Amino acid sequence: MPVLMYHSVQETGADYQVTAAQLDEQLGWLASNGYESVTSADVLAWMTYGIPLPAKPVMITIDDGNFTDWYFLELLEKYGFEGVFALPNYAELTPEEIRTLDRAGEVCGHTVSHPNLSTLSYDEQLYEIGENKQFLEAILGNEITCFAYPFGAYSGMTQFAVIEAGYLMAFDVAGGAQPLDTSIDRWHILRINVNGNGTLDDFIASLEY
């Protein structure tokens, strides 16, 4: 299962941004080639209860809560996909916009201030992770169960802070396509950074195991 990691839509592509044309082309290719989007809730249901996933699942994650999340939502809906949005407390979104993103897919945690968690004490990590979860849940009125590590950084203590905060799944920032077998680690779901410097062929190649 490819778990794609996006950040923002900009006029030029770069390591952590794509152009509108690139995003449209990538999502169009996924739709044309039989991929169906899933959320972390879908993967948790598969892991916990054996509820089947689609034959060609893809998870489309968008980090950091940039104002261009609205453009992602527009294109995701154009192709019948759901997005998974990892939001810090400083997301450039109103409470109503955050609720809309959750209804259109799923909202995940991403800390209060996007620090490098590996540099923090356990209590500092628990604050960043737990306060962000409470902040988002107060807006949404429902529990969130997924978390994304800022910068993909963590220490040996971080997983325990994520668990204590009440999450059920967490995302890394790299690693390639996530095998759907017994090797899966719910606290370190692998992701693919969609590089705006690449071509559509590069994007397609990145989806392979």
Tokens 């992602």 belong to 72
The pair phi, psi for residue 53, each rounded to 5°, is -95, 165
Q: What is the dihedral of CA 106, 161, 65, 40, to 10 degrees?
A: -20
Whole-number pLDDT of residue 134: 98
| CB neighbour list of residue 154: distance below 8 Å, 6 or more residues apart | 117, 118
The pair phi, psi for residue 17, each rounded to 5°, is -150, 150
- Measured CA to CA, the distance from residue 197 to residue 199 in angstroms comes to 7
**pTM for this structure?**
0.97
pLDDT < 70: residue spans in the chain? 209
- Measured CA to CA, the distance from residue 22 to residue 72 in angstroms comes to 12
CB of 17 within 8 A of CB of 8? yes
The pair phi, psi for residue 174, each rounded to 5°, is -150, -175
pLDDT tens per residue across span 67-78: 999 999 999 999
Whole-number pLDDT of residue 209: 62
